[in-house]
Amino acid sequence: MSVKERFLRYVQIDTQSNPKTGTHPSTQKQFDLAKLLVEELHALGVTNAFYNEHAYVYAYLPATIKNAPSIGFIAHLDTEPVCSGTNVKPRCLIYQGGDITLDNGATITPTEFPFLENYVGQELIVSGGDTLLGADDKAGVAEIMSAVEYLLSHPEIPHGKVGIAFTPDEEIGEGASLFDVKGFGCDFAYTVDGGEIGELGYETFNASEAVITLQGKNIHPGSAKNKMVNCAVIVGEFMAMLPANETPATTENREGFYHVCHIQSGVETGEIELIIRDHDKQKFEMRKAFIQDICKELADKYGQNAVVCQIRDQYYNCYEKIKDHFHLIENARKAYEQAGVVPIETPVRGGTDGSTLSFMGLPCPNLFTGEHNAHSVRELVPVPSMEKAVEVIIELIKLYAKQ
């Protein structure tokens, strides 16, 4: 089965995660893809493949040579919660330039997405426009599975132990929370969860989320002087105190930001949810302290119970752990070169399972999948990019067999 065929099969399985359930996995439908992958691995001859009660899929190819490092490859099963992943209708087309019109009439234009010009003449896969496509990260899943099939059909290729894992709930920041690093049994690993062809990620944000709970006092507005505490007013003051030029829409590269994700408020109650991001650990800590200071100032003004802030760290910059194992990057560069791919090494403005796994003792950079426009109904992936990702995985396995 080709990587394209696998991908088209996987994206039609709804695996959307849900941050509100509090369960692991957050949605039972992620088991649908986990079960299918284990069945496929068994059919390929990987008899040790299994999924556990939390929908983590684990498998490995035994080493064919001695003393080679054990290398793992990891992708995630789930799709992100905001855009629907139900009834995905993938469509393949040869891109001839110009606008791409999706089945629902929406368009993907080179004016808005100049990268399209790089793919003229290539086969692209898009959604119907009513759902996301699911290339994040079912492209990665398909690429790992295709690399496994290639190795099994070419037993003459020497390799150390090759670990395979597919995780649930990456999109809600829980993908690595229950990962069995010891049981996985690999010295190092790569997540296959990056973007355009050539992307090689080994720096991520430090990340936290803040939930600010507001408690007001309602009273008839005609007699409210010195009595009313209006949560909606507190929300406005909080927003005005955030730096206007430090948002996702105004920053790039290694610039950090504050991103307000959700606000709800009446007079008596309210809540603000935001995320805090920075590549630099010291700046990251300063950003968290800044939010706490704002909340303290507002609590001093409106009452200590009026503004309560809780901040939870989500993940940290994986470079702090990868830098001591930089052969992971050097070998990735070689594998890209051997596959005819030019590395694009830019800081990841987000995180991956590898961010958490690196701090759990499994150093884990991120390889490209080829996809573009993640978390959007305009998501797409070029088939040749997926094929190159498979080549890179195979070349990496070959390289580590020589070390």
Q: What is the DSSP track for 367-381?
A: EE---BSTTSTT-EE
Identified catalytic residue from 136, 170, 193, 203: 170
Of 74, 78, 134, which Cα lies nearest the Cα of 373?
134
Find out whether 396 and 366 touch, Cβ atoms under 8 Å. no
| Helical H segments across 303-349, by residue range | 319-322, 327-338
- Which amino acid appears at position 267 of this protein? V
CA atoms within 13 A on the CB side of 167: 28
pLDDT tens over the chain, length 403 residues? 999 999 999 999 999 999 889 999 999 999 999 999 999 999 999 999 999 999 999 999 999 999 999 999 999 999 999 899 999 999 999 999 999 999 999 999 999 999 999 999 999 999 999 999 999 999 999 999 999 999 999 999 999 999 999 999 999 888 898 999 999 999 999 999 999 999 999 999 999 999 999 999 999 999 999 999 999 999 999 999 999 999 999 999 999 999 999 999 999 999 999 999 999 999 999 999 999 999 999 999 999 899 999 999 999 999 999 999 999 999 999 999 999 999 999 898 988 788 999 999 999 999 999 999 999 999 999 999 999 999 999 999 999 998 7
* Domains located in the chain, CATH noted: 3-203+317-401 (3.40.630.10), 206-315 (3.30.70.360)
- Strands 188-194 and 366-368, sheet pairing: parallel
Cα dihedral 169→372→367→198 (10° resolution): -170
The DSSP bridge partners found for residue 275 are 209, 259
**pTM across the whole model:** 0.90
The continuous run of DSSP H or E covering 72 comes out as strand 71-76
CA atoms within 13 A on the CB side of 397: 31
- Which amino acid appears at position 84 of this protein? S
- Catalytic: 337? no
| CA of residue 240 relative to chain centroid, distance | 30
Measure the CA–CA gap between 353 and 334, rounded to whole angstroms.
23
Identified catalytic residue from 14, 78, 171, 203: 78
**Angle of helix 3-10 versus helix 135-153 axis, rounded to 10:** 140
Cis peptide before 25 (omega within 30 of 0): yes
- Catalytic: 187? no
